[in-house]
C-alpha cells in the first residue's frame, strides 16, 4: 500500500483555535472535506498557532490517545505548523513527512511534600519566584555535577523545543533526531563560566532547590507551572511519542537546522 492510499483511508478530525481567523478557516474546510469527531479520528488537522498546537498535543498526552497531527498556521510564528491553504489537502497529507517528538516528564515535589507529574514537549524550566537569585543543586543520572548553581533559573530542552525558550537563554539548537537534550542555565551568576551542557536523551536530571523557603522556585512544564518546588526530576518519557506531519518543503527538521543561520 502506498502512502497516498494509506492516508486516503484514514479518517480526519478537525481541531480549531477559538480565534476568528481559525474559525473562518474551519468553516471553509468543512464545506470542502469530510470530517469525523476528533475522538474517532485516525489523524487530526489543527488550525491555529504554535501555542494552540502545544495545547492540542498536551491534551492527547493527558488522554493517552495519540494520533498523527497536521497543523496549519493561523497564528503568529507557526514554527510547528504548515502553511494555511485550503486546497488539495488530501494530496498534501499523502506527501507529508512524519516526525516523531518524544516529550519530557517532569516530577516536581513541592515544599509541602506534594508531587506533581507533567509532560513537556518543549522544555522544563525552573525559575526564581522573587527578586532573589535561585540556588539549585544540579545532578545528572543521580550524580551532583553542580553543587550550587546561582541563577535566575535552569532548563532542560528537547530538540523540538531547543529553538524556543532555550535559544533565548543562549542555549544550543539541537537537530531533530539527534537524541540529545540541552541543559541550559538562565542568567547564571555562579559558576560564572558555566554556560550549559548537551547530554544524551537517556540522561536523568535532578534539581534540588537550596533554601526553598527563602529563595522560592517554580517549575514550568511548557505552559504549566508548579510553584514553591523543593525537588524536580526530569527525563524523557518514551511511552508517549507524538507524530507531527509536515509538507516536504516545510519540514520540521529543516526548519530547526536553519534556525542556526537566522539573523
Task: Give the distance, in angstroms, between the CA of residue 42 and the centroid of all CA atoms in the same chain.
Answer: 22
For 168-201, what is each residue's pLDDT tens digit? Answer: 999 999 988 889 999 999 999 999 889 999 999 9
51 annotated binding-site participant: yes
> Which residue ranges form the domains of the chain, and what is each CATH number?
3-102+240-261 (3.40.50.10330), 104-236 (2.60.200.30)
Is residue 168 a known part of a binding site?
A: yes
**In this structure, what C-alpha cell is assigned to residue 220?**
514550568
Instruction: Answer yes or no: is 167 a known binding residue.
Output: yes
Which of the residues are catalytic? 50
Annotation-wise, does 160 bind a ligand?
A: yes
Q: What's the pTM?
A: 0.87
Burial class (CB in 10 A: 0-12, 13-18, 19+), 63: exposed
pLDDT at 108 (0 to 100): 98
Distance CA 110, CA 112 (A): 5
pLDDT digits (tens, 9 = 90+) for 135-178: 999 999 999 999 999 999 999 999 999 988 999 999 999 988 88
On the 0-12 / 13-18 / 19+ scale of CB atoms within 10 A, 55 is middle
β-partners of residue 152 are none
165 labelled binding-site residue = yes
Is the Cβ–Cβ distance between 126 and 136 less than 8 Å? yes
Amino acid at each position: 500500500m502506498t502512502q497516498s492510499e494509506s492516508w486516503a483511508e484514514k479518517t480526519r478530525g478537525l481541531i480549531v483555535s477559538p480565534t476568528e481567523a481559525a474559525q473562518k478557516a474551519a468553516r471553509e474546510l468543512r464545506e470542502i472535506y469530510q470530517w469525523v469527531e476528533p475522538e474517532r479520528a485516525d489523524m487530526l488537522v489543527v488550525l491555529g498557532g504554535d501555542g494552540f498546537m502545544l495545547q492540542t498535543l498536551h491534551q492527547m498526552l493527558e488522554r493517552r490517545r495519540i494520533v498523527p497531527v497536521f497543523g496549519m498556521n493561523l497564528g503568529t510564528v507557526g514554527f510547528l505548523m504548515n502553511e494555511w491553504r485550503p486546497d488539495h489537502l488530501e494530496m498534501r497529507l499523502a506527501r507529508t513527512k512524519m516526525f516523531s517528538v518524544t516529550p519530557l516528564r517532569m516530577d516536581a515535589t513541592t515544599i509541602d511534600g506534594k508531587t506533581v507529574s507533567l509532560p513537556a514537549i518543549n522544555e522544563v524550566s525552573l525559575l526564581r519566584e522573587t527578586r532573589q537569585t535561585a540556588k539549585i543543586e544540579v545532578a545528572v543520572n543521580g550524580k551532583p555535577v553542580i553543587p550550587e548553581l546561582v541563577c535566575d533559573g535552569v532548563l532542560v530542552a528537547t530538540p523540538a523545543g531547543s529553538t524556543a525558550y532555550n535559544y533565548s537563554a543562549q542555549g544550543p539548537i539541537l537537530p531533530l533526531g539527534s537524541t540529545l537534550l540541552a541543559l541550559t542555565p538562565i542568567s547564571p551568576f555562579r559558576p560564572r563560566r558555566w554556560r550549559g551542557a548537551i547530554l544524551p536523551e537517556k540522561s536523568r536530571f535532578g534539581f534540588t532547590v537550596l533554601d526553598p523557603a527563602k529563595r522560592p522556585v517554580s517549575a514550568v512544564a511548557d505552559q504549566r507551572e508548579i510553584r514553591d518546588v523543593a525537588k524536580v526530576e526530569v527525563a524523557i518519557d518514551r511511552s508517549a511519542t507524538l507524530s507531527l506531519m509536515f509538507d516536504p518543503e516545510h519540514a520540521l527538521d529543516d526548519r530547526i537546522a536553519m534556525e542556526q543561520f537566522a539573523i
